[in-house]
Amino acid sequence: MSYCVYCEQLTKPTREHVFPSFLNKRADRQGLYYSAAAEKYVEGAPVVRDVCDACNNETLSRLDDYASDLFDRYFVHVIVKPVLFQCDPNRLSRWLLKVMFNGQRAFGGVEKSFLPYRPYILGKDPYPPRKVFLFGGVMVPSKFEGRFVLPRDFRLSELRPDERLLGVEFDIAHMLTLNSFMLCVISLKDVKLEVLPSNITLTLKNGLGLVQFSDEGEIFFDPSDSRIDHVSHKVNQTRNKPWLFGRNGNVVVGNKIFKITAHPRMRQSGSAVRDNKLSLMSVNVDNKLFAMIGFQVYPPQLREIQTRLGTSISESKRAYAIIERRKYKTYVTLVDPKELGRPHLDMRTGIEQSDENWRLWRSAFERTGLIYLIEGVGNAPRSSSVLCAVPILKVSIHEAGTVGL
């Protein structure tokens, strides 16, 4: 017995597919699933095992039935000319949120952002806690080594928009790609904004070719709006997440190695990390607080020492921290004083941190003047785990503005 992650009733858990089984059955897909949230490829159909029978086989499966109809009508096709897409935006939003929430749990632990949306997903609440904006876009085929590579896979990704540039903090900015169809859910931390500021819609359009659904659930999926093709998408992932692909586009899943089709040969350069998965922690040692950052993928150039908290630790000469606090999120930039233009860590999307945790974390780094870097997120640090102690260059605190409207 365990608690259902959706309705919180104590029941016998059932298996729920992250990507509904109709996708596995009907799609002519490749053998791997990519999760940008988890930053890895997985083989076979990922499942979660924390959903009760009633939620899984009644409420959520009705959403799957709806999406399955949309799949037969639209998603199964490769978009070659503009497609007028019509849907019930409410049911599509709920289904997308469900798939994204399931994906987060299957690949990357419980994502707190999705928890308040559960009553809406289940249909118990007619409105989401924050207004949900739906966007769509087209992933076009690529010409690669003289042949066309069709976008035929499913993927979940986190968009990680540049919040400081856009002047907002995002609650959800996730995308599900089904073959040619990119389906994106956006919501903002600031519940007062009923309409998305135009700088956001323009950025999504210019950057990813995403267009907003009408309130009635209509949109043109127009390939001439597309900013992204199947192979370039992989190239971008390779650039942003070089650790993911190994050499020559080989992906390791468990004990197997897969060759990603149409993986462009390109050289990796630099080791700067952008939008790594991080956690901010305050750790108490001998009644003293230390401010830490845990990295899911530790930047190798910042492996300077290996020591325990509480001893005298030599300060990093390679990295300085710039910390910015907005209303809900904290942003950390790690710069090399000799290479200011190429930060070790450049965070476009902040890390959500409650006011209480922010105050603790801040008091800790103000006490020592340092932030301690460790490998791993979400776990209590091991005793000899500090790999770098970064002095703080600058702290700025301000609430998210509404610039650029």
The distance of closest approach from Cβ of residue 52 to Zn ion in the complex, given in angstroms and rounded to an integer, is 3
Minimal distance in Å, beta carbon 8 to Zn ion? 7
Residue 345 makes contact with Zn ion by CB under 5 A: no
Closest residue to Zn ion in the complex (CB) = 4
Spatial distance between the Cα atoms of 213 and 220, rounded to a whole number of angstroms: 8
CB of 92 to Zn ion, least distance (A): 22
List, in order, residues 6 or more apart from 47 with CB less than 8 Å away. 15, 16, 17, 18, 106
- Cα 184 from Cα 211, distance rounded (Å): 9
6 vs 133 by CB, closer to Zn ion: 6
Instruction: Provide the minimum distance between the beta carbon of 46 and Zn ion in the complex, in angstroms, as a whole number.
Output: 19
Contact region for Zn ion (CB under 5 A) — 18-26, 47-55, 183-191, 397-405? 47-55
Q: What is the closest distance, in whole angstroms, from the C-beta atom of residue 51 to Zn ion in the complex?
A: 6
Q: Smallest gap, in angstroms, from Cβ of residue 121 to Zn ion?
A: 11
Work out whether 27 is an interface residue with Zn ion (CB under 5 A). no
Quick one: 13 or 391, whose CB is closer to Zn ion? Answer: 13
Name residues whose C-beta falls within 8 Å of residue 401's C-beta, 6 or more positions apart in sequence.
167
- Taken in order 75, 113, 94, 2, is the CA torsion positive or negative? positive
Question: Can you tell me the distance from the alpha carbon of 94 to that of 85, in angstroms, rounded to the nearest whole number?
Answer: 17
Burial of 217 per CB tally in 10 Å (0-12, 13-18, 19+): middle
**121 is a contact residue toward Zn ion (CB under 5 A):** no
Of 36, 35, 56, 32, the residue nearest 45 (C-alpha): 32
- Least distance in angstroms from the C-beta of 325 to Zn ion: 37
Count of residues engaged in binding Zn ion, rule: CB under 5 A: 5
Residue 34 token pair: 């990519």
Q: Residue 99 Cβ, how far from Zn ion at the closest point, in Å?
A: 17
Of the residues 7, 32, 322, 392, which one makes contact with Zn ion according to CB under 5 A: 7
Should residue 6 be labelled a site residue for Zn ion when binding is judged by CB under 5 A? yes
CA 236 to chain centre: 15
> Whose Cβ is closer to Zn ion: residue 6's or residue 34's?
6
Candidate segments 5-13, 41-49, 153-161, 255-263, binder of Zn ion by CB under 5 A: 5-13
Closer residue to Zn ion, CB minimum distance, 63 or 386: 63
CB atoms within 10 A of CB 121: 23
Q: How far apart are CA 144 and CA 399, in angstroms?
A: 46
Distance CA 326, CA 15 (A): 39
Opening angle at CA 247, ends 241 and 248, nearest 5: 100
Contact status: 5 vs Zn ion (CB under 5 A): no
Q: Record the tokens describing residue 43, joined without a space.
A: 């083989």
Position 101 contacts Zn ion (CB under 5 A) = no
Q: Which one of the spans 7-15, 98-106, 377-385, 397-405 is the region binding Zn ion (CB under 5 A)?
A: 7-15
CA proximity to 237, closest of 79, 404, 55, 41: 41
Residue 22: phi and psi, rounded to 5, are -60, -30
- Report the alpha-carbon distance of residue 17 to residue 316 in Å, rounded: 45
- Pick out residues in 49-78 that bind Zn ion (CB under 5 A): 52, 55
Of 45-53, 89-97, 197-205, 244-252: span binding Zn ion (CB under 5 A): 45-53
Residue 272 CA: distances (Å) to CA of 2, 165, 197: 42, 20, 31
Give yes or no for a contact between 181 and 96, defined as CB atoms under 8 angstroms apart: no
Q: Rule CB under 5 A: say whether 4 interacts with Zn ion.
A: yes
The reply to whether 219 sits near Zn ion by the rule CB under 5 A is: no
13 binds Zn ion (CB under 5 A): no
CB of 4 to Zn ion, least distance (A): 3
Nearer to Zn ion, 4 or 321 (CB): 4
CB 246 within 8 A of CB 238: no
By the rule CB under 5 A, 365 interacts with Zn ion = no
Residue among 6 and 85 whose Cβ is closer to Zn ion: 6
Closest separation in Å from C-beta 114 to Zn ion: 15
Site string for Zn ion, 283-322 (x = CB under 5 A): ----------------------------------------
Query: Minimum CB separation from Zn ion for residue 71, in Å?
Result: 25
Classified as helix, coil or strand, 193 is coil
- Residue 133 CA from chain centroid, whole number: 17
User: Is there binding between residue 18 and Zn ion (CB under 5 A)?
Assistant: no
Q: Using CB under 5 A, list all residues that contact Zn ion.
A: 4, 6-7, 52, 55
